[in-house]
Structure formats: structure tokens, C-alpha cells
Amino acid sequence: MRRPCYVRSMHRSWLAFLCCSIACGGNSRTSTDSQEDAPKPRTEEKTFNFNIPCEVDVSERLAYAPQSERQVLSVFVRKHRPAKRLPVIVWIHGGGWAGGSRYSVDEWALAEVCRGYAVVSVDYRLSWEAPFPAQLEDVKNAIRFLKKNAWKYHLDSQRMAVWGASAGGHLASLTGMTGDFGDPDITELHKYSARVNVVVAWWAPSNFLTIADQWPTHCAEPRDVEVAESMESRLVGCPIDICKDAARAASPVRYVREDLPPFLLMAGGQDCTVPAAQSNELHQALKTAGNDAMLHIFPSAGHGGNEWSRDYILRKVRSFLDEHLRGSGRRAAGPDRRRATPRRRQGDMKSS
């Protein structure tokens, strides 16, 4: 049975437009149909385990929205820190949009605290709890919350990066592209922009409609992303091969335009979960639109694994962050307060 589209008081927001597109876009399958059978993830670890070379203050389980117990974040700052507010790295965990948590933030990301950054690890609603765009809404509302409370946690709201891997990289890309769009559904955050300075996306999906054609030859049994059980289909609420409009709406390449923040894209040549061609496709689109974008594909790396913690990779990330959050390449994240939504092409997602 198809779900009716009720817009009600949200008729001006991008959420009304996009939810109707996904839930009622002329497809026989709905998010309810495909998510009733969705497996719930295993119980996640509930503590942070890290060993980094400095003392850290942690502000734990800060609620940035009221709809779900997963709408919380944790802020890490160095115990002995300067008086000046700290540039911010927002870490977005992976897990196929159906698993993972803020506790899975990697030690090498947290180690940026010792280099003078504040690191924020964000939880968001997973696909078995709510379909896209709930995950993007959550990340952007977390950023608005951080800007609203920057003084409280010693954060510089004008110097913010998002960094994610896999599903987290996908959400980081979307956040960087849609930070100025739309109205949040939380009244006290209405005044604040979700715009960021920098995006770092590792092994991230960028176009749900092209993954199936991009598997490298060494992937003997590539994933079928178009079936109802795929993580992409569960994210949008119906099979990718049926719900092409919903798949397009969840794909970062759809929102490439000029004047985006700098992007650092990284992928592994041996990745058989998200082909490196996805990062290449996004990089080409960003460059064509005139944006600052860098791409590194590491031939021997896969989808995660120990190679991603090696110094030759992390040096590139640190250099990129330092250049754009501290150095001459720094570009303001825009005012903390929201600015007018830019003019869009008809059919663009009005992202919150």
C-alpha cells in the first residue's frame, strides 16, 4: 500500500519536498515495505577506547535534537588548551547507515585533539529507524547545535570541518554541499547555518545510480546495490532499481554546484564495498563546477583496514585541514546565523 504524502505545516521546507519524493514518487515500494524486514544492528559499544598522547576533556552525550536517543554527540578538547577557541572536526561514523555509533570514532581522528583541534563525534538516526534524509538532517542539526553552543565548549564556529568514512563520508559530502539550504525542524536552531569550511570523505558513495557499473575487475562477487536488501536501498526506503528518484536525491553528485567548501576525497583501489570510481566521479564533478577538490586513490588500500591509519595517508589529511582551517587557504564557514537560501534549479533538494 502506498503511503500518502502529508505536507502540512512543513510545506515550505525541503523536507516536505524530499520526503514526498522518496515516499510517494510513483513507486510501488515504500520505505515501510522495505524497512519492516530490516535487521536491527547488534548492540554497539558504549564507551570510548582510545590512547592518545595528551589529556582530554570530554563533554559526553549532548542532545542536539529531541526525536531520538541517537541524536547525541560528544565533544573532545585538550585539557590544557589555549584561551583561543579551537577549530572543529566533526567526525561522522560509517556502518552502512544501519550500524556504527559515535563510539567508533577512530583513535587517529581523536588524536587531532592533541594538535589543537576540538573533535566532535556524532550519532545520527540509522536507516532502520528512519529513512533518508533523516541522517543528513541529524548531522546538520548537530552542526547548528555546535554553533549555537560554541562558547560553552570552547569551539570556533567559523572554522569547522566534517570528516567521515564510507556512509559517514557520504553524509559529510552532502553536508558540505547543502549547509546553506532549508529550515531545520528545531525552533531554537533556526538562526544557525550548517555551512562548514572543509569536507574530508573517505571511500564514500557519491552516486547510487552508477555504483553497479563501476566495480573493478578484481571484485569477483560485487555487491548488488539495486536489490531491496542492499544498504543503499534500505537507506532510501525502497530498491534502488525501482526508486531512481529517491536514489538520485540521496546522491551527493546531484548537489554539486560552484562555491562549495574544499573537498578532500580518498579511496582504496582494492575496495569492493564502494568502488574508488565513486570518489573519482565526485571529484570530476566538483572540479568541473570550479571547486577546490583533491583526490587520492591508494592502489593497495581497501574499504577500511590498517592502511588507513598509516602516516603517509594521515599526513595528507592533516595538511589539508591545517591549510583550510588554520592557514592561508582558510575560507570562512559563513556566518553562524543563516543566510538566505540560494536560488536552485527546479527539482533540487532543499536540504536542511
Q: What is the pLDDT along the chain (352 residues), one digit of tens a residue?
A: 333 332 233 333 444 434 444 443 434 333 334 444 444 544 455 667 677 889 999 999 999 999 999 999 999 999 988 889 999 999 999 999 999 999 988 788 899 999 999 999 999 999 999 999 999 999 999 999 999 999 999 999 999 999 999 999 999 999 999 987 877 888 899 899 999 999 999 999 999 999 999 999 999 888 999 999 999 999 999 999 999 999 999 999 999 999 999 999 999 999 999 999 999 999 999 999 999 999 999 999 999 999 999 999 999 999 999 999 998 556 656 556 655 444 444 344 444 4
pLDDT of residue 335: 57
Confirm if 273 and 243 have CB atoms less than 8 A apart: no
pLDDT of residue 52: 85
pLDDT of residue 333: 60
Q: How far is residue 183's CA from residue 254's CA, in Å, rounded to a whole number?
A: 20
pLDDT of residue 64: 97
Q: How far is residue 276's CA from residue 23's CA, in Å, rounded to a whole number?
A: 30
pLDDT of residue 330: 60
Burial zone of 49 (CB within 10 Å; 0-12 exposed, 13-18 middle, 19+ buried): exposed
pLDDT of residue 345: 40
pLDDT of residue 338: 58
Q: Which three cell numbers stand for residue 268?
A: 582504496
Torsion on CA atoms 44, 170, 17, 239, rounded to nearest 10: -80
Q: Which CATH architecture has domain 54-325?
A: 3-Layer(aba) Sandwich (3.40)
Q: What are phi and psi of 86, to 5 degrees?
A: -100, 140
Nearest Cα to Cα of residue 257 among 191, 341, 316? 341
| 57: amino acid identity, one letter | D
Nearest Cα to Cα of residue 155 among 88, 248, 108, 95? 88
The alpha carbon of residue 209 and the mean position of all alpha carbons in its chain are separated, in whole angstroms, by: 19
The alpha carbon of residue 297 and the mean position of all alpha carbons in its chain are separated, in whole angstroms, by: 20
pLDDT of residue 51: 79
